[in-house]
């Protein structure tokens, strides 16, 4: 099964993706984690992405589309994958449609974690204070505001995009973590 987890920064996509990975043997593919690894390793992609990410803006579509296109072919994705942080705009969603078609793969569900903006800032401040090795470069008030603006302007339109295709499943991301996991498992079994 191949799915997308959709939701604003701080919605809990990473936590839930790991739980689905453990429960279902699908592979979590977090473009944010992959880009942060590239930044830490100082690769050409990382050098390109570093400042853009710190500002809370999106790295160029061709960078993330290329990463995902390569990654979903790997053997550890044979049992399915969980896209976490990708696609983030309509152009990326269209590129995903094309690459899946070319590779003979399909998308089984898009799970939207619904969380009000008012809750997100508090969650991210908490994460910033708990992250081992110090907070992420973009877990500060200014970059978060930018990430939320980008989410509403560019990523939220994907809700309509996938709703029109009939693949959207909505989950209440404001419930406690275990309850969110239960809701996700339920919509995936439908
Ligand atoms: P969050 O969901 O908390 O905002 P992520 O770890 O998913 O965090 O992403 C962090 C940053 O990585 C984004 O703000 C952006 O700069 C970059 N990034 C991640 N995924 C993408 C993507 N699909 N397209 C463009 N940029 C991305």
Q: How far is the CA of 50 from the centre of ligand 1 (A)?
A: 11
Tell me the C-alpha to C-alpha distance, in Å, between residue 20 and each of 1, 6, 118, 150, 178: 11, 14, 26, 26, 12
Q: Are the C-beta atoms of residues 16 and 5 closer than 8 Å to each other?
A: yes
Q: Is the CB of 54 under 6 A from ligand 1?
A: no
Hey, whose CA ends up nearest to atom 3 of ligand 1?
9
pTM over 0.85: yes
The encoded tokens of residue 127 equal 């994460």
Q: Specify the pLDDT at position 132.
A: 83
Cα torsion 81, 85, 86, 90: sign = positive
Per-residue pLDDT 10s for the chain (190 aa) are 999 999 999 899 999 999 999 999 999 999 999 999 999 999 999 999 999 999 999 999 999 999 999 999 999 999 999 999 999 999 999 999 999 999 999 999 999 999 998 888 888 888 888 888 888 899 888 898 899 999 999 999 999 999 999 999 999 999 999 999 999 999 999 8
Reading the block at residue 38, the tokens are: 């590239």
Token digits of residue 91: 């152009």
Token pair, residue 135, equals 């907070």
Widest CA span of the chain, in angstroms? 43
- The residues assigned a catalytic role are 13, 88, 127, 136, 147
What fold is seen in the domain 3-185?
Answer: Rossmann fold (3.40.50)
Task: Delimit the domains of the chain by residue range.
Answer: 3-185
Asked if residue 29 has its Cβ within 6 Å of ligand 1, the reply is: no
Ligand 1 pocket test: pick from 85, 87, 151 the residue with the most ligand atoms within 8 Å of its Cβ.
85
Is there an atom of ligand 1 within 6 Å of 39 CB?
no
């Amino acid at each position: 099964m191949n799915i997308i987890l959709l939701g604003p920064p701080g919605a809990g996509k990473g936590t839930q993706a790991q739980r689905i990975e453990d429960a279902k043997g699908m592979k979590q593919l977090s473009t944010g984690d992959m880009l942060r690894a590239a930044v830490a390793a100082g690769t050409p992609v990382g050098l390109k992405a570093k400042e853009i990410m710190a500002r809370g803006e999106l790295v160029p579509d061709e960078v993330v589309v290329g990463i995902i296109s390569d990654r979903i072919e790997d053997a550890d994705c044979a049992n399915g994958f969980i896209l976490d942080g990708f696609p983030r705009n309509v152009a990326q969603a269209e590129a995903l449609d094309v690459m899946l078609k070319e590779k003979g793969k399909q998308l089984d569900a898009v799970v939207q974690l619904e969380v009000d903006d008012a809750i997100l800032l508090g969650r991210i401040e908490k994460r910033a204070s708990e992250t081992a090795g110090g907070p992420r470069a973009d877990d500060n008030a200014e970059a978060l505001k930018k990430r939320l603006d980008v989410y509403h302007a560019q990523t939220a339109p994907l809700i309509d995009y996938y709703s029109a295709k009939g693949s959207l499943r909505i989950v209440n991301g404001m419930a406690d973590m275990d309850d969110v996991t239960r809701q996700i498992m339920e919509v995936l079994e439908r």
